[in-house]
Amino acid sequence: MGNSTQFTTIILVGYIDVGCVTYLYFTILLLIYIAIILANSLLIGVICVERSLQEPMYIFLCNMSVNELYGSAAFFPSILTNMLSKSHQVTIIHCYVQIFSLYTYASVEFGNLAIMSYDRYTAICYPLLYSSIMTRNRVFILIALVWLISFVKFSGNLILNLRSELCGNVIEKVWCDNYMLVKLACSDTTVNNIYGITGSVLTIVLPLMLIGYSYLKILRACLKCPASDTQKMMATCIPHLVSLLNFSLGCSFEIFSSRFEKLYMPSVLRVIISVYFVICPPLLNPIMYGIRLSKIKVACKKKIFSLK
């Protein structure tokens, strides 16, 4: 054990000194953040206003966009501010809040993808019972449970972090990461590690198991149907599968960059893969769903042209 100190700030040393190009990177990230806000806000607005989109699939999609705005708000203002700062310091409280927000964002995203897969499974395998199974009340209960479980789960994480004594205040990332913070602890982190592994299982493994089960059933149903019906079924599943793959890859990249920090990797690449999960899914999901789902495409065009 080392000597603990009461640190009030955390230094993020993942930022690369690129001189004047910093302002170019800042502008690119700012434009991405603006695009994320506009695309997701438009999708939320259209789904909330358009009566034809008051169906479970679109309500879950709306929830996804709300979560992506939440995750983006926990990441972009902080990184944009630190890019222009020479010290790259954040307060310890800011660090704890960012960890809580980004981890709940990831948990809600996986949970939402799981209930979206269950929705598609119900619609395809039990079309006649779909409306009685996926009632409006049940949809909102599922969404509320996903948020509640995520917040409760990572509140425990937050409490454990607040109780830990730190021997250092330097994190080799551009954002506050729970794994890196636990590594700075002087006190025994056995409970933190057990809780972290349990949380990872609840956050990632269980939703992926539900998604895998749902798509196995969907695949079996598709094999029994004519090709034309299968095409229609998969049309609504493809955007969901792309979202799942995109977000899962992003989280895998982040875990890889944290757990194998000693493995040689160009600094720029390490930064990119560590932030992929909070940049690409929020930017690409609303665009992809807007293009792939005809009802959303038509509703978006109608709302945009009505503003002219």
**Which residues face 185 on adjacent strands?**
166
| Contact criterion met (CB below 8 Å) for 184 and 99 | no
Per-residue DSSP letter, 203: I
- Coil, strand, or helix at residue 266? coil
- Contact (CB, 8 A) for 84 and 92: no
Residue 88 to residues 54, 100, 226, 227, 276, Cα–Cα distance (Å): 44, 20, 58, 56, 20
CA atoms within 13 A on the CB side of 253: 19
Cα–Cα distances in angstroms (integers) from residue 188 to residues 3, 59, 223, in the given order: 13, 43, 53
Question: What domains does the chain contain, in order, with CATH numbers?
Answer: 9-306 (1.20.1070.10)
Decide if 216 contacts 125 (C-beta within 8 A): no
Please give the helix or strand (H or E) that residue 10 lies within, else none: strand 9-12
The pair of three-digit structure tokens given for residue 58, joined into one six-digit string? 């679109």
C-alpha 276/C-alpha 270 separation (Å) is 10
Q: What is the C-alpha separation between 15 and 96, in angstroms, rounded?
A: 19
**Tokens representing 134?**
């996926």
Instruction: Give the pLDDT of residue 303.
Output: 63
Secondary structure string (H, E, C) spanning 97-164:
HHHHHHHHHHHHHHHHHHHHHHHHHHHHHCCCCHHHHCCHHHHHHHHHHHHHHHHHHHHHHHHHHHHC
- Predicted local confidence at residue 129, as pLDDT: 93
Residue with tokens 């001189």: 19
**Cβ-Cβ contacts under 8 Å for 214 (sequence gap 6 or more):** 117, 118, 120, 121
For residue 65, which of 224, 289, 259 has the smallest C-alpha distance? 289
Determine the length of the chain. Answer: 308
pLDDT tens sequence for the chain (308 residues): 455 557 889 999 888 776 778 888 899 999 999 999 999 999 999 999 888 888 999 999 999 999 999 999 999 999 999 988 888 899 999 999 999 999 999 999 999 999 999 999 999 889 899 999 999 999 999 999 999 999 999 999 889 888 888 888 899 889 998 888 888 888 888 888 888 888 888 888 899 999 999 999 988 888 877 776 777 777 778 888 999 999 999 898 888 777 666 566 777 788 888 899 999 999 999 988 887 777 787 777 776 666 55
